[in-house]
Structure formats: structure tokens, C-alpha cells
Amino acid sequence: MAAAVPLLHTRSYSLNLFGLISRIQELDRGLMNNDYHKATARRLEHEAPSPFSPTEDAILSAALAHVPTHGFTTTALTHGARDAGYLDISTNLFPTGAFSIVNFHLVTQRLALAKHASSLQPHADIATNIRSLALHRLHANKPIAHRWQEALALLSTARHIPTSLRELALLSDELLFLAGSTTVTSAWYTDRAALAAIYAGAELFMTQDRSKGFAETEEFLTRRLEEGEKVRGGLDMVGKWVGMQAGGLVDGLRSKGVWI
Amino acid sequence: MSAPTLSRTSTRLTHRLLNPQPPYRCLSCCRYLAQSQEPANHSGPTPTTHFGFQTVPSSSKQSRVANVFTSVASSYDTMNDLMSLGTHRLWKDYFVRSINPGTRDCEEGKGKGQTILDIAGGTGDIAFRMLEHCTVVNKDHASKIIVSDINPDMLAEGKRRAREGGHDHSGRLSWLEANAENLHTISDNSIDLYTVAFGIRNFTSKALALREAFRVLKPGGVFACLEFSKVNNRLVEALYKRWSFGAIPLIGQLVAGDRESYQYLVESIERFPGQEELKGMIEEAGFLLPGGEEGKGWEDLMGGIACVHKGVKPLG
């Protein structure tokens, strides 16, 4: 017993040294609390406050109206500034230039999803809700779909990648939350990552879609979501199997007198 | 004592007696004299400001700064290159490019071009770059630039450069000797873009100058300022302090023959408010800050050695 105590001590020390478990737990707790409360507050308020100032809002929404003709360019931004009663030089308000129009579109459309969520079927399952919400979000890209490649190009430049990824993560979180997902296990992460990948794929598909009313994009999204469900089911089973085997192993070792 | 030495000494003596040399003038003397002439009794509460590390009456800062720039005007470029190891050119290029002066479609006869006011731009460094940006990048041949400086020597240097660089044929440059705190010759709401590069530091009252900028700018007009600022990395800061307090006055002494002016320069940089404070002043003057939610309202260059601040005058 005297030997076991220092051993235990060393083990807990090494765990603390790497700080892995406690760090992950902390991170998990932090993320959960933070995002959960934010999202709840958002849902309760219904109208999320816009992160853009009235001036930015006026110029950027006017600029967005010029995107179908001028694309996601500084020209569209300049035209937007003029339409809002500002000068050409006033575009200095947006240090990221054309990217600010892309960001504006992403943020406003994400926030607009909450309104659509109230029209969802009350007792529909989560998968149906996710599909409906994701489709609604994709349809918001319709007027600028022929210019979306430019936006994707801007989103993937090194300077903007952190903003792009964060916005995609927020969108995925918003979709799952509004669909009614309440997971608190590790699936919280995998669900969000999978949905983000599926949505980004569908958006990319949409830029090449020439079908009427983007019917092919809709089919693409449906197929990907179904696959996602299948993979998730498979992974769940694999997880269960691994858990069973591990439990069995521990029990077996304990029966042999190993102190675990 | 041999005869030749004696005669040489006597010649030197007579020379000095017959042609009395003008009193040796340099900034260090001015500063020394000003200090010795300061009134002994501080009875009245005179408003003070800082001049480098010294606290001086507000009324005298203007003339002191004028002395500094009069004495450095001719060696301005060489000194800037040596002190900043050439990077001041990059900062100025970046500053102008990020502002993007000039209107795009004024060649079609739609626009009248912009009216740009370059404050403390005596040597034309920023003005020439903006002119070129308007013409070459935005194909704008109509925008006009008013170069303003408080110091006639700096303006003269700028005019000389404009002649040499072929910028003065366009008729788009005009020169104005004025104090940035009182631009009474410029009417309200008449300027599209107000720039001040490495100048705001020397203003006696920054708040007054900012208010004046707000007045002359059109609604939607832009205030842009390039200035030294606070370095945000401790290690870089240590190296930077070493360089600015150790090397710069020495370079000034060796190259421009004027240590005191450059001592003032580094002290004034040290005393200048940091990013956060200047941002607050710009906001207080009524400007909208760029960047929105994530933006800080300024942009650091080289880790904060220099910094670009911008503000947009709101409508109505």
C-alpha cells in the first residue's frame, strides 16, 4: 500500500503536467456554457442585435444590391456608399474592402435564420429541421449565386480564413440549435463539424448548379445529410462496441487481480 | 614660439576680431536660451504642453517645433531613411494605398474628383504619392491636393521637390502655410480627405486640430493619420527604445549636425499618446471609426512602431 500511494501521486502529477484531461474538461465546460447561454439568450430575444452600426448597415446593404452586377468588388462597395449618400472615400470605413460585403451577407443571413425557425413544424425531428433550415440558408444565396465564387475566393484568402471558419462554425451551431439539437456529449462537436462540412460542400455545389430553382443543390444537400446520418449511426455503433470491449478488458484484468 | 606659428595665431586673432562671426545658431542654443529666458516667477497659471520630455508654455511649442523643422528641412529625406532604415517609405506607400484616394469614374466626366488636404505635408511625401495613386491607379486626373504646413521652410522644400519631380505641371497641387488648429482659409464641409502623416504629434492641441479637421471635412469625408505609436511587443520595444534613444540622436549629430532636434523627435514619439488614446480623441471629435465589431479603429505597422488611424465624418 505504501508503494501504491506514491505511484498514484506520480500518475496524477503526470496527468496534471500534461494537463490534457483537465484542460479538455475546462474547454468543454467553457464552450458549453458560453455558447449555450448565448444561443438561449438569442432565441429568447428573437431579434438578435446587428453587429453592424447603422452607417455600416446602410452602406453594406446598398453595396449588396450592386453585387449581382459588379460582383464582390470595391466597385460594388463604392456604389453602395454613393447610394447611401456617402462619398467614394467613405469606403475607408471598411478596412477589409470587398470582403466586408461577404461578411455582411454571411452575418445578416445567419441572424435571419432565427425568423425562419419559428415557421418550422413543431414536432418534426431534428434531421428534417436541419434540412429545412440549411435549404433556407442556401436559398438566401440565390440572387448572388453566380457571383458566389468570388466570395469563396475572398473567404479562402489567408487573411480572412479565421473569420471564414468562425462564421461557418457559428452558422453550423445556429442551424443545429434552431433545429432543436440538445446534445451535450462529444457529439456536440462532431455534429457541428459534420454539418459545417456538408453545408460548405452544398454551397460550393450551388456555384456550379445551373438547374431550375437550384433543384440539384437541394438533392445534393439531402443526399449528404442522409449520408451523415448513416455515418453517425455507424460511428455510434463503433463507439458502443469499443466501449463494450474496453469494459470487458477492464473486468477481465480485474478478475486476474490487477489493481485498476 | 617660432615665427610662422606666431603669425598664424595673430592672423586668426585679427580675423576673428575684424569679422565677428554670427552667433552660433542651432536648436540646442535656442532651447538653452529659451530655458534661461523663462520667467522665474510662475505666478499666473499659464497653459502648458509638452515639447519632448520638457513641459513648456503652450504658446512657445509652436515656435519650438518650427525651429526643429527649419533646422531639419534640408536633410529630411536622408535622415528619415537612416532613422527608419528605409521603412518610412513603405509606411507612407501603405498609408496612401490603404486610403485609396481618387474617384474611379471621373474620366467619364461624371465626377469632379476629390479635394484632398494634406496637413503637415510640407515636403510633399504624402501629397506626391496620393497624386500618383489618383492618376495611375484610379485614372483620376481631376482630384486636387492642398499641401499645408506651418513651416515655410518645409513648404519650400516641398515646392522644390514638386518642381524636380515634375508634379507641379499638373496644376493639381496647391500650397498653404497654415496652422492645423486654425484652417480659417478653408471653408466648412469642403474636403473629401484629410491626411496627416507624422505631424499630429507636433500639434500643440490635438483636440483643436481634430475639431478643425471635422469642420472642414464633407459629411462622409475621411480623416487619416499616420503616426508613431506604442510598440506592443516587449522585446521589440526594448530594441526599438535602444535604437531610438541611442542611435537616432547620434545619427542626427553626425549627418544633420543637429543632435537636439533629433533628441526632440524621439522624445516627442515617446510622449505621444498610444493607439487607444488617439482613437478615443478621434471618436470624441465625432468621427465614425472603421472596422466595426472586430476592428480596433486603427492599424499597427511593424508591431506598432507606426500606426494608421482613420475616421469618417458621419452624415448630417
Judging contacts by C-beta atoms under 8 Å, the chain B residues touching residue A166 are none
The confidence band for B134, taking pLDDT boundaries of 50, 70 and 90, is very high
The confidence band for B312, taking pLDDT boundaries of 50, 70 and 90, is very high
Give the long-range contacts of residues B90-93, CB within 8 A, separation 24 or more: B91/B226, B91/B301, B91/B302, B91/B306, B92/B125, B92/B126, B92/B129, B92/B197, B92/B226, B93/B129
ipTM of the complex: 0.75
Q: Residue B126: what pLDDT? A: 93
Q: Based on the number of CB atoms within 10 Å of its own CB, is A108 exposed (0-12), middle (13-18) or buried (19 or more)? A: middle
Q: Residue B36: what pLDDT? A: 45
Q: Residue B38: what pLDDT? A: 44
A85-89, B27-31, B197-201: which range is least confident on average?
A: B27-31
Query: With an 8 Å Cβ cutoff, is A57 touching chain B?
Result: no
- In sequence order, the β-bridge partners of residue B175 are B147
pLDDT, mean of residues A230-247: 90
Distances (CA, A) of A122 to A129, A174, B140, B172: 10, 18, 59, 67
Q: Is B147 helix (H, G, I), strand (E, B) or coil?
A: strand
CB contact under 8 A, A78 and B104: yes
Encode burial over B95-114: b for 16+ CB neighbours within 10 A, e otherwise: bbeebbbbbbebeeeebebb
CB contact under 8 A, A88 and B104: yes
Judging contacts by C-beta atoms under 8 Å, the chain B residues touching residue A163 are 294
Rounded CA gap, A127 and B39, in Å?
Answer: 84
The chain B residues in contact with chain A (CB within 8 A) are 98-101, 103-104, 111, 114, 192-193, 218-222, 224, 288, 290-295, 299, 310, 312, 314-315
Facing residue for A93 by CB, picked from B100, B290, B294: B290
CB < 8 Å from B in window 155-184 of A: 163
Q: Residue A1: what pLDDT? A: 40
Q: Please name the residue ranges forming H helices in chain B.
A: 3-18, 27-37, 58-72, 76-84, 87-99, 125-132, 152-165, 206-216, 234-241, 248-251, 259-271, 275-284
B316 or A220, which is more confident: A220
Facing residue for A87 by CB, picked from B192, B292, B294: B192
Of A242, A167, A236, the C-alpha closest to A200 is A167
B74 or B183, which is more confident: B183
A123 or A214, which is more confident: A214
Q: Are the CB atoms for A138 and A221 separated by under 8 Å?
A: yes
Rounded CA gap, A111 and A106, in Å?
Answer: 9
Q: Based on the number of CB atoms within 10 Å of its own CB, is A120 exposed (0-12), middle (13-18) or buried (19 or more)? A: middle
How big is chain A, counted in residues? 260
Mutate which: B134, B189, B222, B287, vs A, most A CBs within 10 A: B222
Q: Residue B39: what pLDDT? A: 46
Q: Residue A229: what pLDDT? A: 86
Q: Please name the residue ranges forming H helices in A19-160.
A: 20-45, 54-65, 67-70, 74-83, 99-117, 126-139, 148-155
- Cα first-last separation, chain A: 14
- Cα first-last separation, chain B: 85
For residue B143, the distance in angstroms to the closest alpha carbon of chain A comes to: 12
Query: With an 8 Å Cβ cutoff, is A81 touching chain B?
Result: yes
Q: Residue A25: what pLDDT? A: 55
How big is chain B, counted in residues? 316
Facing residue for B291 by CB, picked from A55, A86, A95: A95
B242 or A6, which is more confident: B242
Query: With an 8 Å Cβ cutoff, is A61 touching chain B?
Result: no
CB contact under 8 A, B220 and A56: no
- Asked whether residue B70 is marked as a ligand-binding residue, the answer is no
- Asked whether residue B149 is marked as a ligand-binding residue, the answer is yes
A3-17, A177-191, B68-82: which range is least confident on average?
A: A3-17
For the packed helices A99-117 and A161-179, what is the interaxial angle rounded to 10 degrees?
Answer: 10
Highest mean pLDDT among A49-53, B88-92, B264-268: B88-92
Q: What is the pLDDT of residues A130-183, one digit of tens each?
A: 999 999 999 999 999 999 999 999 999 999 999 999 999 999 999 999 998 888
Mutate which: A78, A87, A159, vs B, most B CBs within 10 A: A87
The confidence band for B111, taking pLDDT boundaries of 50, 70 and 90, is low
Chain B residue at shortest CA distance from A55: B314
For residue B147, the distance in angstroms to the closest alpha carbon of chain A comes to: 18
Mutate which: A92, A159, A170, vs B, most B CBs within 10 A: A92
Q: What is the pLDDT of residues A12-46, one digit of tens each?
A: 444 444 455 555 555 555 555 555 545 554 454 45
Q: Residue A85: what pLDDT? A: 93
Rounded CA gap, B106 and B274, in Å?
Answer: 38
Q: Residue A32: what pLDDT? A: 52
Q: Residue B56: what pLDDT? A: 79
pLDDT, mean of residues A212-219: 91
The confidence band for B54, taking pLDDT boundaries of 50, 70 and 90, is confident
pLDDT at A220 over 50: yes
CB contact under 8 A, A89 and B299: no
Judging contacts by C-beta atoms under 8 Å, the chain A residues touching residue B114 are 87-89
Q: Are the CB atoms for B206 and B200 separated by under 8 Å?
A: yes
Rounded CA gap, B72 and B255, in Å?
Answer: 10
Count Cβ–Cβ pairs < 8 Å, chain A vs chain B: 65
Facing residue for B292 by CB, picked from A52, A75, A91: A52
Cell reading at B139: 485614372
The confidence band for B207, taking pLDDT boundaries of 50, 70 and 90, is very high
Q: Residue A17: what pLDDT? A: 43
pLDDT, mean of residues A120-129: 83
Rounded CA gap, A169 and A189, in Å?
Answer: 10
- Asked whether residue B179 is marked as a ligand-binding residue, the answer is yes
Q: Is B145 helix (H, G, I), strand (E, B) or coil?
A: strand
Q: Which helix (H) or strand (E) holds A221?
A: helix A215-255
* Cβ neighbours, 10 Å, residue A86: 25
Rounded CA gap, A94 and A104, in Å?
Answer: 11
Q: Residue B252: what pLDDT? A: 87
CB contact under 8 A, A55 and B314: yes
Q: Residue B8: what pLDDT? A: 55
The confidence band for B145, taking pLDDT boundaries of 50, 70 and 90, is very high
CB contact under 8 A, A86 and B99: no
Q: Based on the number of CB atoms within 10 Å of its own CB, is A79 exposed (0-12), middle (13-18) or buried (19 or more)? A: buried
For residue A68, the distance in angstroms to the closest alpha carbon of chain B comes to: 19
